[in-house]
C-alpha cells in the first residue's frame, strides 16, 4: 500500500536579496531561479527520495513547464497517473524572496491547484486506497476534507500539515490522526501562543481535544514538540548553517511519513525527518534542496 499525497504543484520563481524590501522600496537581487515547488509536490518528492512508495494527486496547467514538472516527479519514482492537466489555466506559481539569513517570503497564485475540486478528486478515488494520506492547505479546503473522508474510510492514517496557516473546520480536524503545524500554524489553530515548551504543550492539548491522537509542532532550530495522547516532549534538532529555509517543513513532512511507512517508531521517524529538514536548509530552492535517504541516514550516523 502506498503513501498518497494530495496537494499543490507550483512553479517557484526565487530571487535572493540582502534583505526583504520595505513597501515602495526596490532592491537589486541575484541568483534568480525558476524551480519546481508547491507543498504537495515538495512533500511527495521528499517522501519518494526518503524511500516511500508515493503517489501524487494534483493538477498542472497548460503552460510550457507543466510536462517537465510531471516528468521530474516520475524520475523521482512518484506515481503521476493522478496528476491532471487543466485546460485554460497556468500551473500554480510562487514568488519567493530569500534573504541573506536564509529566511523567505512567499506570494502564491493558485492556478491549476484551484481546479483540484472534490469532483475531480472523485475520479482518482482509487488513489485514496492507501496506507497513509498526506495533506496540506494549498488546494481547496473542501478537497482536503473529501480526501480525508475517503482515505479514513479505507483505514488510512491521515496526516495533515496545516500550512499555509488558516482556521480549519472541526470536521476536518476530527479526521486527522497526525498533525504537523509550526508555531504560527499551531497558534492559528488553537489560539495558544507557542513561545516555549509550555505553550507547545498547551497547543498540543488543544489539538488532542479536537480528536487528533498525535501532534508534532515544529519549533525551527529548537527542534520539535512531540505529543502523543497528551504526553509531550521536545526532541532537539540538528545545528546547521541555513542557506535557504524554503521547503524545510515540506521535507520534514515527506521524510516523516516515509519513515512511518517502513515501520519506524514515531520518535526515530521524527529524528529521520529532522535530519532531512536540516540537510534541506543547507541548499537553495524547494525540491532542489530535498535530500535522499542515504544522505539522511549518513547525517544520523554522524549525530
What residues form the annotated binding site?
Answer: 10-12, 38-42, 138, 182, 218-223, 244, 246, 249-250, 280, 283, 285, 289
Selecting among 63, 76, 196, 250, the annotated active-site residue is 250
Copy the grid coordinates of residue 222: 529548537
Eight-state DSSP code of residue 271: H
Report whether pLDDT(98) > 90: no
Give me the pLDDT at residue 13, please.
Answer: 92
Average of pLDDT values for 249-265?
Answer: 97
Give me the pLDDT at residue 225, please.
Answer: 98
Cβ proximity of 70 and 80 under 8 Å: yes
Copy the grid coordinates of residue 30: 541575484
Cα(126)–Cα(107) distance, integer angstroms: 33
What residues form the annotated binding site for substrate?
Answer: 10-12, 38-42, 138, 250
Domain residue ranges of the chain, discontinuous segments joined by +: 3-8+39-89+114-302
User: Is residue 250 flagged as an active site residue?
Assistant: yes
- Short-list 34, 8, 11, CA closest to 90: 11
Report whether pLDDT(275) > 90: yes
For 32, the 3-state DSSP assignment is strand
What architecture (CATH level 2) is domain 3-8+39-89+114-302? 3-Layer(aba) Sandwich (3.40)
What residues form the annotated binding site for ATP?
Answer: 182, 218-223, 249-250
Of the listed ranges 170-184, 233-247, 260-274, the least confidently predicted one is: 233-247
Average of pLDDT values for 122-138?
Answer: 97
- Split at pLDDT 50, 70, 90, the class of 207 is very high
Query: Sheet harboring 3-6: ordered strands across?
Result: 83-85, 54-60, 3-6, 132-135, 157-160, 178-179, 214-218, 224-228, 231-235
Give me the pLDDT at residue 221, please.
Answer: 82
Sign of CA dihedral 179, 50, 32, 72: negative
Amino acid at each position: 500500500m502506498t503513501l498518497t499525497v494530495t496537494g499543490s504543484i507550483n512553479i517557484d520563481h526565487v530571487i535572493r536579496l540582502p534583505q526583504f524590501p520595505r513597501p515602495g522600496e526596490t532592491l537589486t537581487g541575484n541568483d534568480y531561479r525558476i524551480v519546481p515547488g508547491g507543498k504537495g509536490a515538495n512533500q511527495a518528492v521528499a517522501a519518494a527520495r526518503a524511500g516511500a512508495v508515493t503517489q501524487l494527486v494534483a493538477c498542472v496547467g497548460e503552460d510550457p513547464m507543466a510536462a517537465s514538472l510531471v516528468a521530474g516527479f516520475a524520475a523521482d519514482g512518484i506515481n503521476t497517473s493522478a496528476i491532471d492537466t487543466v485546460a485554460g489555466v497556468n500551473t500554480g506559481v510562487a514568488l519567493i524572496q530569500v534573504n541573506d539569513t536564509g529566511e523567505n517570503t512567499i506570494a502564491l497564485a493558485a492556478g491549476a491547484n484551484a481546479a483540484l475540486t472534490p469532483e475531480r478528486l472523485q475520479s482518482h478515488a482509487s488513489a485514496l486506497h492507501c496506507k497513509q494520506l498526506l495533506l496540506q492547505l494549498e488546494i481547496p479546503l473542501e478537497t482536503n476534507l473529501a480526501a480525508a473522508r475517503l482515505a479514513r474510510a479505507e483505514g488510512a492514517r491521515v496526516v495533515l500539515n496545516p500550512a499555509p496557516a488558516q482556521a480549519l473546520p472541526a470536521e476536518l480536524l476530527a479526521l486527522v490522526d497526525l498533525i504537523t503545524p509550526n508555531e504560527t500554524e499551531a497558534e492559528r489553530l488553537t489560539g495558544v501562543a507557542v513561545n516555549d515548551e509550555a505553550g507547545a504543550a498547551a497547543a498540543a492539548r488543544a489539538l488532542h481535544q479536537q480528536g487528533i491522537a498525535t501532534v508534532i509542532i515544529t519549533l525551527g532550530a529548537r527542534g520539535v514538540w512531540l505529543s502523543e495522547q497528551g504526553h509531550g516532549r521536545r526532541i532537539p534538532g540538528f545545528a546547521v548553517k541555513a542557506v535557504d529555509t524554503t521547503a524545510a517543513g515540506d521535507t520534514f513532512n515527506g521524510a516523516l511519513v516515509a519513515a512511518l511507512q517502513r515501520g519506524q517508531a514515531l520518535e526515530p521517524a521524527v529524528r529521520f525527518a529532522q535530519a532531512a529538514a536540516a540537510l534541506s536548509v543547507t541548499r537553495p530552492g524547494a525540491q532542489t534542496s530535498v535530500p535522499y535517504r542515504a544522505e539522511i541516514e549518513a547525517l544520523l550516523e554522524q549525530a
